Structure 1
């Protein structure tokens, strides 16, 4: 049996490999249909897959520059291999992954990340964005970075889908810096009291925004920025962008939370408006929400209204 191509011998995620397989164990008279279920073919396919994986790991260990060049060309394919088939192949591929590191300023493996984790660190932290430069400016990374935690930068559209299907690596759970339940151990009594005091204010803001957000709350991650968006559930803002750009509109959106920095003058202005001018508070709320959208690379939902509200405040 002579075939130019045999898809059953090589998984899609290794389709960049070219070569020839010569075996005396396969009958010359075997049909293509029987070939798919042939034990010898399955064994050959397994050996080929293991050999490719072994060679790639060896390249990663001994020829790092060469591997990084390879990964720049085919890393995306490996990530799709992890995500496809409901993560069935993640165990075969996850130690081949590389991401840009906030502390090392270069591409690193997951094993390298784990080896540098702090004693009190629970999660593998990551941030998603269109580029390294844009992620560097994200409000959400400030406090995580200040605590000395390394952050992996996910800049390709498939990245979060791959990480999401993996869920963890060597028992270390992945955690987005934009998750609404990000726990950095910064709770204190003063913040708890402030949360109670701001309950009515944030309810008014939530009602003003309607279903644009699922909640408005004080932020536990912001330091210098006045506002940001976080998300609840499995769909992130970057995932929302991916779904929106698909040929068929999926209409899948992230459950957004508007977070306010309690230490910023903006918060004082919100409290003052709640006490004295609720119409102005509505304007502030819409402006902050749209500001947070722009920071995330999302469009302003109503540009004309946004422009008018800015002009109104300037008059």
Structure 2
């Protein structure tokens, strides 16, 4: 198959300064010898060969002596020709040995391959002796013909999040290995997939450059992605296998969520596969399950972002939602900050961060209540306190307002509706992608003892120390350092002294 392109002819002279071919045709009376040094001329002469067949002798260059090594030859054959249909034998002083498998599991019918064979092939590909989470045996026929044997690993590889990590899927053309670096064969959000793809529609002399933006490769990729998603959907729906799917999601969910950002075509399917931790459930939660548990009057899917589940669970922003039994999804992966605003809604319910904008909980009815609790009223004394706080802070904060989300804490910081969310700001600042910090809104809890005491403070009494301590407290609660530690310590000492 490969001889028609001249690739073998060219490669022979890369390692040899002379090549001799002796061949006798079936039924022919004589054999002939062809010999050349590859510099433009060749000779043909009669040769002695009793049987039909062809032998090719390479007289190796001095710098190609590595190809006299038995292990080097075996490695080359097993890498590039292990699965072609013909056996390749190596003859040494010790005897003759077949050094390729001469068989390709992916070309056989799924019913002809045992579980032990697919497991052994997975181990030979990955050096992983644990069972894969899923095995896909694919055979496409029709306008496009290809076979594939793909594996979804059961555990996360250590280099999954390294910058140069690519898909480990090997590309074959009619059983001949072409490359394991075809970036267009599998999207980056499926870079953990292992296996082989064998195409009958690509030429054997295809180069890496020809593979880029190749329409055949694009069609194969589309078909493979749909098969993988379909397999994951089956795994996710099986109730007795729920824990297995959740274990898989815990390992590979952060990578699959990259597809929510990158892959518009498969976005809705990936949303159905996504799982989240939440404020009300001990296990993983799907978006469909969340929507099915919406409280009366709840119009949004509430989310909270942070570095870990524990960090988010300790946030004061959750207090009002917990009080009404409203579920909040925890987002702990950096990619969450990018796919979420791009998608916006699920089943016509908008995603809403609990740390951005006003917490509109007034229309939600808590468990055991007949109607929503009324929003806290702004009394004249409370309005006066808010104005005094604004005058102390100046342009340090964007606004001061009464909170609907606080029940236990005195204060918290939130992002205004059109500003960068709190966790995203931290990520951008850590990567030096933020020129200056956005000004935040300080929300105060009108029922907290500290706020009620301050409300009753005479207008001529000093308020600055308490006001700045409240703002420092809000920064600490969101996991940020206080702006001026020395001033914080001085104010704290002053207040404690009084």
TM-score (norm 2): 0.58
Shift of 1:292: 0.8
45, 48, 67: which is aligned to 2:245?
67
Separation in 2 of the partners of 1:49 and 1:189? 50
Q: 1:214 aligns with which of 373, 379, 398?
A: 398
- The structure-2 alpha-carbon separation of the partners of 1:88 and 1:236, relative to structure 1 and needing over 3 Å to count, comes to farther
Tell me the residue number matched to 2:369.
none
2:358 is matched with 181
Q: Which residue of 1 aligns with 2:430?
A: 245
Q: Which residue of 2 aligns with 1:83?
A: 261
Residue 139 (str. 1) matches residue 321 (str. 2): no
- Give me the whole-angstrom Cα distance separating, in 1, the residues matched to 2:375 and 2:276: 38
Task: Determine if contact 1:101/1:152 at 8 Å carries over to the other structure.
Answer: yes
* Structure number with larger C-alpha Rg: 2
Offset of 1:57 from its aligned partner?
A: 1.5
Q: Is the 8 A contact 2:381 2:455 kept in 1?
A: no
Provide the residue aligned with 1:95 in structure 2. 272
Q: For 2:299 and 2:286, how far apart are their aligned partners in 1?
A: 18
Corresponding residue of 2:408: 224
Contact map agreement 1:82 1:88 (CA 8 A) in 2: no
Aligned length: 310
Deviations 1:210-243 (A, max 9, x none): 3331101111121122111121124111112111
Alpha-carbon separation, structure 1, partners of 2:267 and 2:200:
32
Q: Which residue pairs with 2:62 in the alignment?
A: none
Does the Cα contact within 8 Å between 1:126 and 1:177 map onto a contact in 2? yes
Which of 155, 167, 184 aligns to 1:8? It is 184
Per the TM alignment, residue 48 of structure 1 is displaced from its structure 2 partner at its CA by 0.5
In the alignment, is the contact (CA less than 8 A) between 2:300 and 2:352 conserved in 1? yes
Superposed CA offset, 1:104-143 (max 9, x none)? 2111111111122234221111222333233223222122
Residue of structure 2 equivalent to 1:300: 482
More strand by share: 2
Alpha-carbon offset, residue 302 of structure 1 = 0.3
Q: CA deviation at 1:297?
A: 0.5
How big is each residue's C-alpha offset from its partner over 1:43-75, in whole Å with a ceiling of 9 and x where there is no partner?
111000101111112222222222222212211
Aligned to 2:233: 57
In 2 relative to 1, CA 276–268 (structure 1 residues): closer, same or farther, beyond 3 Å? farther
* Local SS of the residue matching 2:179: coil
Q: Conserved in 2, the CA contact under 8 Å of 1:237 and 1:253?
A: no
Distance (Å, rounded) in 2 between the aligned partners of 1:22 and 1:216: 63
Name the counterpart of 2:298: 121
Q: Any stretches of 5+ residues in structure 2 without a counterpart? A: 1-172, 364-371
What CA distance in whole angstroms lies between the structure 2 residues aligned with 1:118 and 1:265?
Answer: 30
Match of 2:453 in 1: 269
Distance 2:294 2:237 in 1: 21
Q: Name 1:21's counterpart in structure 2.
A: 197
Residue 285 of structure 2: which of 97, 103, 108 is its match? 108
Task: Report the counterpart of residue 164 of structure 1 in structure 2.
Answer: 341
Change (3 A) 1:190 1:221: closer
Aligned-partner Cα distance in 2 for 1:9–1:275: 70
Structure 1 range deviating more: 165-174 or 181-190: 181-190
Q: What is the rounded CA distance, in whole Å, between the counterparts of 1:28 and 1:84 in structure 2?
A: 31
Superimposed CA distance per residue, residues 121-174 of structure 1 (whole angstroms, 9 cap, x where no aligned partner): 211112223332332232221221222221111223332333222211121111
- 1:98 to partner: Cα distance: 1.1
Going from structure 1 to structure 2, the CA distance change for 1:189 and 1:27 (only over 3 Å counts) comes to closer
In 2: Cα distance, 1:52 partner to 1:25 partner: 22
Report the equivalent of 1:236: 421
Q: Classify the secondary structure of the residue corresponding to 2:195.
A: coil
2:381 & 2:236 partners in 1: Cα distance?
54
User: Per chain length, whose mean CA-contact separation is higher, i.e. which structure has more relative contact order (CA < 8 Å, sep 6+)?
Assistant: 1
Q: Distance in 2 between matches of 1:149 and 1:309?
A: 37
- How far apart, CA to CA, are the structure 1 residues paired with 2:192 and 2:304? 29
Match of 2:327 in 1: 150
